Amino acid sequence: EDKVVQSPLSLVVHEGDTVTLNCSYEVTNFRSLLWYKQEKKAPTFLFMLTSSGIEKKSGRLSSILDKKELFSILNITATQTGDSAVYLCAVEAFDAGGTSYGKLTFGQGTILTVHP
């Protein structure tokens, strides 16, 4: 069974700090790893990673995937109070037929709290 583990489960920082969120996974027939941000509503997409070692960046957020060691990290620099949210990591895998059919396996999430 596919498994995704995120750490830490919660994190409290002050504005301006840099944080690193971790996601490790065990999945057969890996297709992609995705990061989401969830505030008091539905998850919003941040990044999709499919290739090892290639950093994806969006403003103060960046993410990288290591397919050999089966993990990914999400970095947030110069944190702001608006970054407070649950950050979810999910993996998508191909089934035996070579398709993924929209099934994502999620980690339990990291609750990030940024204080002013």
Partner 1 sequence: KAGVTQTPRYLIKTRGQQVTLSCSPISGHRSVSWYQQTPGQGLQFLFEYFSETQRNKGNFPGRFSGRQFSNSRSEMNVSTLELGDSALYLCASQGRDRYSNKDEQFFGPGTRLTVL
Q: Is the peptide bond before 8 cis (omega within 30 degrees of 0)?
A: yes
74 binds partner 1 (CB under 8 A): no
Which range binds partner 1 by CB under 8 A, 11-19, 22-30, 38-46, 70-78? 38-46
Torsions phi, psi for 96 (to 5 deg): -60, -25
Binders of partner 1 among residues 3 to 32 (CB under 8 A) are none
C-beta closer to partner 1: residue 25 or 79: 25
- Per-residue x/- mask for partner 1, residues 89 to 108, rule CB under 8 A? -x----x---x-xxxxxxxx
The candidate with the shortest Cα–Cα distance to 30, out of 58, 49, 56, is: 49
Binders of partner 1 among residues 43 to 72 (CB under 8 A) are 43-45
Which residue of 33, 65, 85, 88 would you call a contact of partner 1, by CB under 8 A? 88
The candidate with the shortest Cα–Cα distance to 3, out of 90, 76, 88, 116, is: 90
41 binds partner 1 (CB under 8 A): yes
Shortest separation between residue 90's beta carbon and partner 1, angstroms: 8
Beta strands in the chain (DSSP E): 3-7, 10-14, 19-26, 30-38, 44-49, 56-58, 61-66, 71-76, 85-93, 104-106, 110-115
Residues that bind partner 1 (CB under 8 A): 41-45, 88, 90, 95, 99, 101-109
